[in-house]
Structure 1
Amino acid sequence: MRISVIGCGYLGTVHAAAMASLGHEVVGIDVDGGRVARLAQGTPPFFEPELPELLADGIASGRLTFTTDYSAARGSDVHFLAVGTPQQAGGHAADLSYLHSAVDSLLPQLRPGDVVAGKSTVPVGTAGALADRFAAVGAELVWNPEFVREGRAVRDTIAPDRMVIGVAAGEAGERAVEVLREVFQPALAAGTPLVVTDLATSELVKSAANAFLATKISFINAMAEIAEEVGADVTQLADAIGYDERIGRRFLGAGIGFGGGCLPKDIRAFAARAEELGRGESVSFLREVDAVNLRRRDRAVQLAVDSLGGSVFGKRVAVLGAAFKANSDDVRDSPALDVAVRLHGMGAVVVVSDPQAIENARRLHPQLAYGSSDEAMRGADAVMVLTEWGEYRRLDPVHASTLAAGRIVIDGRNCIDADAWRAAGWTYRGMGRR
């Protein structure tokens, strides 16, 4: 099929490359000329495992192209909207200006019978408000929310764990569903569950999923706060309750909390939309979810201060991790980078390391020092593991001892072997652990 993808940021780039890998003819359209030029050369503007290979294959085959010209969308059977919906400046609601601008540019290119599939995360009611504009030119709007995870985005796009399509009632909606069935035929043939629903429910599915995941993370971090007061171990607590199949162990990793460009802004936008609907009390718990999450960053800073004798002024601190999660170079609302900046502001000499995110971190916070993990640890009074990269999980505490000046390690992700570090002579401090 012929497909256009409007918006070539993180979501759009991955989606375009993945669709081309399935054999579709895909054009990615973005207003950022520099980004388009890089993508046309097969260079992704961010780190994502497996993406460079997909881009190169798609471009070499001729199935994947990129442009700034919206007229390139003409003749496509399906147009995917994948533009960003960031948090409004000075508020919590979603900023839909990029989405509306993309719609304005796409409408003149559409033919009667075209299918437009929204993938962006939007406040419930957005699709319904846009549907009439597309119907006026004979196109059908459906909502097909994404559920990709950074670090696993390619696999999540090609082989998702579920697929949701929101449509308006009627024959046009039924036809649009059949068109998307054809687009995603390989995944559906492999058994991916498909939920066909109305537009509002499809929007709520994405908001509810992110709200639930954020709540689960903040729940275990709230338990970590209690565990710290009574001398309990939150990791063993999580193991014990995780055996209950109704609860499960995933997303019960206590630490310095979640960040990135999705969960924080999405739960805030969800709460803001509920307020607009007069149902703010229904999701008022999300305010506390957000508050718990931010408090864990405070706790990591306090652990560093306490471990270094009550002050970090003039102390050298190695921060291992800048990205908000492993297998990503995304530093948006990164808890690790936030902790590093706070310690720097308190007078510490902070050196940050990360396998992929150093350049992004340096652009955002040039006041910090950066280097390899060995360079960061050399002469350090304390080492903080704040992003759970595999190389940090596997870090040899004996090797670290040959570099650091002090023997204090703060495990902000509860991801390293506490016993091994203690056996090597380190004072180990975890999050919610004895």
Structure 2
Amino acid sequence: MTTPPFEKDDTVSAATSASPTTSLRDDATDVALLVLEDGTVMRGRAYGARGATFGEIVFSTGMTGYQETLTDPSYHQQIVVMTAPHIGNTGVNDEDQESHRIWVSGYVVRDPARRPSNWRSQRSLGDELHAQGVVSICDVDTRALTRHLREGGVLRAGIFSGSALPDTPGARAEQELLDQVLASPPMDGADLSDAVTTDEPYVVEPTGEFAGRDPMAVVAAIDLGIKAMTPQRMAERGLRVHVLPATSTLDDIRATGANGVFFSNGPGDPKTAAHAIELLRSVLDQRIPFFGICFGNQLLGRALGFGTYKLGYGHRGINQPVQDVTTGKVEVTAHNHGFAVDAPIGAETTAPHDGGRYGRVIVSHVGLNDNVVEGLQCLDLPAFSVQYHPEAAAGPHDAAYLFDRFVDLLTSTTKDHA
């Protein structure tokens, strides 16, 4: 049994550590420490790779889909805490990944599966984390940790195990680890798109029939950290998707023959994405149909002249209620965002950029837990976006209609210009 890091009332207690006579590097105990920037220290057991890792610590409320979470590029430079207590039950396979690698900086779970049990499993989660060098920790009271993050907000953190642990435990050793955490970069001001984008353009061919008047439409998808399921959802609707690097230009978009432009999800602070924002303004100026998801929603907001801000602890998980105010329908949705758009909710407004040159805008979707802007719709331009993930692997699929809405936008715009 590990020393519990919190008192029974789930409030944060003083930092705990090993017995003064026991080395933290004792292989028999396989100790790992989770250190938060507010000085909280939690002791657990090493999981995955051993060493040290740093990042913004956030929690995800999803009870399933952990493989999709781990391989989502939006989690770059973040340590993810799973609120569900049992993780790893279905193992890992090669079909459900959202990208070519695990992107999380670290992983925190309470009770990892001793062995996977699923007919699709090819290896265990622990083995996969170890193989990809992801330093993780288990046997942590993730319920208490989540409550702590909900009260204090997201923090920088570090996970330490193996040779990264000090030889001698105690307050001085923990201060040394805390100093390393405090020296790690914050998410505010982080420009991370170039670290996660594709190196070269590639094409995802259509697998379904396009519903528009033309045999097929072409979409240029700017990869700011795109998930593999997103172009697949568009391909299922008969769209040919050219996935382009984040550094692409309007000329690169035109070279694909695109009828529409898509901006993907991705990590980092939207205020740093100057190139992407200017590219999007060029798209809006040309009246090319636009659809954005997550980071793409934040960039549409900034392109229109609205601000963005950092949420206290963000939205992450697959059980977030959102209302589409254009229909009144409430949908359960998948989220992964720590920033949000600062736009007025409840009535149409004029986009503030450049004297209102982009016309009228409404907040089309609202988060019902905290009234956060979850979508934007331009009324005088063919452009809309949502803050959440309608591609939603492993679910839910309530918001899949948004891809159909994009197809409708492409179709109606084609007819208007015919």
Q: Shared fold (TM-score greater than 0.5)?
A: no
Q: TM-score, normalised by structure 1?
A: 0.31
Q: Which has the higher helix share?
A: 1
Q: TM-score, normalised by structure 2?
A: 0.32
Q: Which has the higher strand share?
A: 2
